[in-house]
Chain A
Amino acid sequence: MRMSPEAAGRTAHARSGVRRTGSRTAEAGLRWLLVLWRDLCLAAGMAGRGKLIAVIGDEDTVTGFLLGGIGELNKNRHPNFLVVEKDTTINEIEDTFRQFLHRDDIGIILINQYIAEMVRHALDAHQHSIPAVLEIPSKEHPYDAAKDSILRRARGMFTAEDLR
């Protein structure tokens, strides 16, 4: 059936519209694929590199563990350590601790036990296996197993009813 010139023109325009819409959809799909590929590469890179060990402690504890080689500090990322001094507020400690908890590139957080006491509520609320939180002694405050969150949870497992 022969088409009128106007109909042919409308059909051609409609087809080009479909092509434009189709190409826009393909473009969006390709962009999404590229973003996904970039994220996968980043994740693989991070997985290949391994996780970090963070430390929150007094000057000697942080200096010692940084000597051990755990420190990371560059322009783009926040440091994975915090030196707690006399004028460091509890809010700063808690904010830093929560930041470390939310970072997915930190596997272990080392924290002096006397500092952990200041943010005990945040430690007790952390139930995930990663990052693991390890309480370590400080020079003025030796390690007390009774205060450790993990050991308190293990000790509180058994009630009188469970042992009956």
Chain B
Amino acid sequence: MAAPDLRAELDSLLLQLLGDLEELEGKRAVLNTRVEEGWLSLAKARYAMGAKSVGPLQYASHMEPQVCLHTSEAQEGLQKFKVVRAGVHTPEEVGPGEAALRRRKGPAKTPEPQSSEAPQDPLNWFGILVPHSLRQAQASFRDGLQLAADIASLQNRIDWGRNQIRGLQKKLKQLEPGAA
């Protein structure tokens, strides 16, 4: 590869790296804000429920993850992360035929297939009626998880870009030892 082409590629990689760093800084600031909001909400929940009511003592003895990560390889050595939520419940849809009258006597006798694969909501560890602040804390940390996956993808891209730049710089030094 000729030196001018290498320089052009190096410039574009550098620009991409600087753009990624700026994006990373922005997402980090948002993540830090979400986490701080989550702590504040947890403190409010603790104030409402009691000092020892929100902590490791309430953790379940059996936990199934509600959130998983899916990884994909965009380019060679470049991993991308995506957060996937398990057991998302879709609201029951009422068709046009059922809209007129619905029985209110209770659940149907024919057992519907249970979504046993759906993991238990961690809010249930803290009781049946939890304060609104605990739900807010959960929402803040869930947003934080989405941001964490984006930040991890950006970090990988920055590392990958850094390695590509170093490789190109070495090639350039070999082609133009005097200029280097």
**Which residues of A approach B to under 8 Å, CB–CB?**
49-53, 59-74, 79-80, 83, 107-108, 110, 129-130, 132, 134, 136-137, 139, 142-143, 145, 150-151, 153-154, 157, 161-162
Contact = CB atoms under 8 A, between A and B. Distances in A.
A71 B162 contact: no
Nearest to A135: B28
Contacts of A139: 39
A68 B67 contact: yes
B71 A67 contact: no
A108 B24 CA distance: 16
Given A79-B63, A129-B160, 16 more contacts: A51-B68, A52-B69, A53-B69, A53-B145, A65-B144, A66-B122, A67-B134, A67-B137, A69-B65, A69-B145, A107-B152, A110-B148, A129-B78, A137-B35, A154-B162, A157-B162
Query: Of residues B63, B121, B134, which shows the largest number of chain A Cβ atoms within 10 Å of its Cβ?
Result: B63
A79 B156 CA distance: 25
B56 A62 contact: yes
Interface of B: 17, 21, 24-25, 28, 31-32, 35-36, 38-39, 42, 54-56, 59-71, 77-79, 81, 84-85, 119, 121-123, 134, 137-138, 140-142, 144-145, 148-149, 151-152, 155-156, 158-160, 162, 165-166, 169, 180
A63 B54 contact: yes
B138 A68 contact: yes
Query: Of residues B32, B55, B140, B155, which shows the largest number of chain A Cβ atoms within 10 Å of its Cβ?
Result: B155
- Please report whether the interface of chain A is mostly helix, strand, loop or mixed according to DSSP: mixed
9 contacts: A63-B55, A65-B145, A67-B138, A68-B138, A73-B60, A74-B62, A142-B32, A145-B28, A151-B21
Given A50-B84, A67-B137, A108-B148, A154 B158 contact: yes
A154 B23 CA distance: 14
B141 A107 contact: no
B122 A132 contact: no
A107 B28 CA distance: 18
A158 to B, nearest CB: 9
B32 A65 contact: no
Contacts of B28: 143, 145
A108 B69 contact: yes
Given A63-B54, A83-B56, A139-B39, A132 B137 contact: no
